[in-house]
Amino acid sequence: MDTKKIGKNIATIRKNKGYTQESLSEKLNISSQAISKWETGAGLPETSMLITLAKLWDISIDSILRPIITGIEKVIKTVVIEDVEFTIIEKERALYAGAYDIAPDLNCEPNFEGCLSDHEVFNTIKDSLTPDRNLVLSIDYATNERPRAMLRGQETSNYEQPAGIHVIEADPTILIKVQATNAAWALTKKLTGEGKPTWHMAPLFGLIRHIFCDSEKSEYEFNGCKQNGNEEIEIYGFNGNNYVTVPVIKRSKNSLVTTTAQKNICKTKKLPPEKGSIIKFGNYNWRVLDIQGNKALLLSEHITEIRRYHYTKFNTTWAKCELHYYLNSEFYDTFSKAEKAQIAETEITPDDNTWYNKDGGTSTYDHIFILSAEQIIKYFGDSGDFAKRNGWTWSGNKFEMKDGKGQALLDQYNEKRIATNSNGEKFEWWARTPGRENFFAVGIGTDGILLFTGHRVNYEKGVRPALWLKL
């Protein structure tokens, strides 16, 4: 780990967020010398301080520890189809700076109120890596936090940008690039039926998806199948060198994709045998948490609904609670007969709360269940604090570390445990482990904190069903 690069990254983010070393030290209740030590690479923040910094700056811990590498591309190969050349590129982490063109949550649609003009954008961006100043880089950047937004801007090497300029960080990916030539438009018309529009190049995205997503013989598939949605990049150059790029991922050897006329959705025909894959099953998207023999453990990618764990504040366990009954009756019945045949009935062993010595009850045989606290730690990341009970306790208006006495688990995996509904709204969600009393159940907060004291069972929280799927 290069502490000097990380230190420089911390300094850059601090300045970009509008803090001096002194003002940040006051906010964190530490000395400015400690911050100087981080930024010179003489030391790094403790895990608890990294969590605090990430929350304060509204970024991931990963963004703090992995400085941005920009401008690095590697051409893997080219694919030529009917005189149209598709370039496959490995792209390192990148920064894109610009102004939102279409962003309902920023009041920029339909009259673009508050948005900068093209001229203002391209004359304002600092340290652009784009060779052509007249070039427009548009990113259709759809995420849980921003359902739809197009950023007009350029690639940059600098986090620090003037007012009105937003910065987007893109993870390493594989890109497929095609130029907007006459041959490309002819191939688009032939394969997708869409002609050349007057002022945009969106049909070329459809061409790339048709070839590299819908084709079962393709080595790649569209990255938009993943949770973060579309990340499409259009480049308009006034020198006529217009092109588009689309992010893709390597297709598993055993993954098959159905041919479909829909260009914006990848539908898996068979479960990809890779942990972390997202598949469609029934009415929901599911994340593959584990593969054991001929079965795969699936967890709903989003909160499916808000429900009570139990109908009233009585002592209960997973075997006796209302939520257990509902998931294995009404929710289970939302699947078709063929889909039910794919869901394995599984023994669900009780999960005791070892922090509060509460009995998890008796085993059950379920088709649908929710994860235990131990499973959440296992599949979302284990810092080792659970086994040691290195937890945190709410004191006044903040959590404090109480080794061996903690109420909640706060670690570097908080962000991974955050759950949202399909609209991107964050919700607390249930685990099937009892809380500090048997009329409490463990819950995960909107900030990803695993609360072992739990919530009263008659409170309404988010539900993320899980199941074992036969392969």
Each residue's pLDDT tens digit, 254-297? 443 333 322 332 333 343 457 888 888 888 889 999 998 889 99
**Whether the predicted pLDDT of 242 surpasses 60:** yes
pLDDT tens-place string over residues 14-42: 887 778 899 899 989 999 899 999 999 88
What pLDDT is recorded for position 286? 92
**Whether the predicted pLDDT of 222 surpasses 90:** no
What pLDDT is recorded for position 173? 74
What pLDDT is recorded for position 43? 86
Confidence of residue 394 (pLDDT cuts 50, 70, 90): low
CA distance to 309, 325, 326, 359, per residue, from 320 (Å): 10, 8, 11, 13
Domain segments of the chain as ranges: 3-65, 73-250, 300-470
**Whether the predicted pLDDT of 125 surpasses 70:** yes
> Which residue would you say has higher pLDDT here, 386 or 292?
292
> Which residue would you say has higher pLDDT here, 351 or 115?
351
- Residues 278 and 265: their CA atoms lie apart, in Å, by 12
Confidence of residue 218 (pLDDT cuts 50, 70, 90): low
> Which residue would you say has higher pLDDT here, 276 or 144?
276
pLDDT tens-place string over residues 295-345: 999 999 999 999 999 988 788 999 989 999 999 998 999 998 888 999 999
Confidence of residue 386 (pLDDT cuts 50, 70, 90): confident
- Residues 252 and 271: their CA atoms lie apart, in Å, by 10
Least confident of 117-121, 181-185, 452-456: 117-121
What pLDDT is recorded for position 1? 56
CATH of domain 73-250: 3.20.80
Mean of pLDDT values over 163-169? 72
What pLDDT is recorded for position 368? 96
For residue 222 the two structure tokens come to 């569209």
What pLDDT is recorded for position 398? 61
Confidence of residue 396 (pLDDT cuts 50, 70, 90): low
Share of the chain above pLDDT 70, in %: 71
What pLDDT is recorded for position 441? 95
CATH of domain 3-65: 1.10.260.40
* 133, 140 contact by CB (below 8 A): no
> Which residue would you say has higher pLDDT here, 198 or 349?
349
Confidence of residue 457 (pLDDT cuts 50, 70, 90): very high
> Which residue would you say has higher pLDDT here, 254 or 415?
415
> Which residue would you say has higher pLDDT here, 431 or 222?
431
**Whether the predicted pLDDT of 181 surpasses 60:** yes
What pLDDT is recorded for position 149? 54
